[in-house]
């Protein structure tokens, strides 16, 4: 087998017994890294330390990845305006948190005869959410339901948050400093 020492230097080709003695003399492990090579390649290293560092690298890479979740909101063609506003409020919250939103519109019974109303409702809803999101998948029909997938848009969200910070909340009075009030 071909042997590589702990500093990455090629030692040479030797028998497995000689390679094992070489590794033991240094107090390290003999690890086969290329079993299909001709001759097989082995490396002398501290296996516990290597395993620990590999685990640490994997943990670090997982820390940096972003996980996108899809939140699903169910509506019906006859959903009342107030109920729709509540559902849109939830959708807006999910989008601002960075989650994608799947709006599901489910038909039942004779509602299937008026699918155009469902398409109009989904277009209206996506239009109302367009200030912070983009439509990732146009309305599609799957069996008895229509759905649209919306993804948060970072630039639109930034503008939306600036606009929200600039407008006073309900019950708050916009304070204006007048020169007469300071005297």
Question: Using one digit for the tens of pLDDT, what is the confidence trace for 106-146?
Answer: 988 888 888 888 888 888 988 898 888 888 888 888 888 88
Residue-level pLDDT at 175: 54
Superfamily for 2-46?
Translation initiation factor 3 (IF-3), N-terminal domain (3.10.20.80)
Nearest partner of 157 among 102, 103, 104, 99, judged by Cα: 99
Question: Using one digit for the tens of pLDDT, what is the confidence trace for 3-43?
Answer: 888 888 888 898 988 988 888 888 888 888 888 888 889 99
What pTM was computed for the model? 0.56
Q: Domain residues of the chain, as ranges?
A: 2-46, 70-166
Residue-level pLDDT at 112: 82
- If one counts every other C-beta atom within 10 angstroms of the C-beta of residue 83, the result is 12
Region 39-66: mean pLDDT is 87
Q: pLDDT class for 85, splitting at 50, 70, 90?
A: very high
CATH 3.30.110.10 for the 70-166 domain, yes or no:
yes
Q: What is the mean pLDDT of the chain?
A: 85
């Amino acid at each position: 087998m071909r042997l590589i020492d702990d500093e990455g230097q090629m030692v040479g080709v030797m028998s497995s017994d000689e390679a094992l003695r070489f590794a033991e003399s240094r107090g390290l492990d003999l690890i086969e890294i290329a079993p299909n090579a001709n001759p097989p390649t082995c490396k002398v290293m501290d296996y516990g330390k290597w395993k620990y560092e590999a685990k640490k690298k994997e943990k670090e890479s997982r820390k940096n990845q972003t996980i996108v979740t899809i939140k699903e909101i169910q509506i019906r063609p006859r959903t009342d305006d107030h109920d729709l506003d509540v559902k849109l409020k939830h959708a807006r919250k999910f989008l601002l948190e960075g989650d994608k939103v799947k709006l599901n519109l489910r038909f039942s019974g004779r509602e299937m005869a008026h699918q155009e109303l469902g398409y109009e409702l989904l277009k209206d809803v996506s239009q109302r959410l367009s200030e912070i999101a983009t439509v990732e998948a146009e309305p599609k029909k799957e069996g008895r339901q229509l759905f649209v997938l919306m993804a948060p848009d970072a630039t639109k969200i930034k503008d939306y948050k600036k606009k929200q910070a600039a407008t006073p909340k309900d019950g708050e009075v916009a304070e204006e400093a007048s020169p007469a009030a300071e005297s």
